[in-house]
Amino acid sequence: MINRPLPGDRPKYFTLVDVEQARLEHVREMVNKVGTDIHFEYVCNADPTQNDQIVASLTNGSVVINATGLGKDLPGSPVTEKVRFPKFGVVWELNYRGERPFLQQAQAQQKQRKLTVEDGWVCFLNGWTSVLSRVLDVKIEGALFNRLAKIATELR
C-alpha cells in the first residue's frame, strides 16, 4: 500500500495495534525506511475493550484486519462482542483455522453494517496452491484452483 503511485490508491491513515512494543518499533523502522505520506499510528495494547474504541473511531469504509493469531493459536478475539465495525468496511480475518470468533463477530454485523467480510481460508489456499504449483510445475488457477478449493473446503 505504501508504494502505490497514486495517492487515491493509498490509505490516508493506518493504525497498527500489537501487544508487543518491539514489533511495533520494527514496523515503524521499516515504514520510515520506505517513506510515505500515510499517517501511521502505532498502538501497544492487549485490551479488547480499548480495541473496540479504536475500531469505533474508524471512518466508514475502513479496513479492519485480525492478524493477531487470536482465534487460531490462542483462544479469543482482539475485540469484544460490543465492537462496532465501520459501516461499509472490510473486515478481514487472516486466521484460517480454529474457532475464529473475530470472523463470527464480523459476520454477525455483515448485513446491518454493510460489511465485506473476508475469510483467511482463501488466503491460506492461495499460499498452498502457489507452493504446490512451483513444486509440481503446474499452473493452479481459475477452474483448477476453484475445484481444489472446493475439495479442501469439504475436507476441512
Indicate the domain borders of the chain.
45-120
Q: What is the pLDDT of residue 138?
A: 93
Band (156; pLDDT cuts 50, 70, 90): confident
Q: What is the pLDDT of residue 33?
A: 95
Q: What is the pLDDT of residue 116?
A: 97
pLDDT digits (tens, 9 = 90+) for 82-134: 999 999 999 999 988 888 999 999 999 999 999 999 999 988 999 999 999 99
Residue 69 above 90 pLDDT?
no
pLDDT digits (tens, 9 = 90+) for 22-65: 999 999 999 999 999 999 999 999 999 999 999 999 999 999 99
Q: Supply the pTM of this predicted model.
A: 0.85
Helices 142-155 and 120-136: crossing angle in degrees, nearest 10, is 120
Q: Which residues pair with 90 in a beta bridge?
A: 63, 116
Dig out the grid coordinates for 143 from the structure.
477452474
Q: Tell me the CA distances in angstroms from 84 to 31, 33, 37, 81, one per residue in order.
A: 29, 34, 28, 9
Is 31 within 8 Å of 2 (Cβ atoms)? yes
Which residues make Cβ contacts (< 8 Å) with residue 152, sequence separation at least 6?
A: 125
Q: What is the pLDDT of residue 90?
A: 97
User: Mean pLDDT throughout 64-91?
Assistant: 93
Is 69 within 8 Å of 102 (Cβ atoms)? no
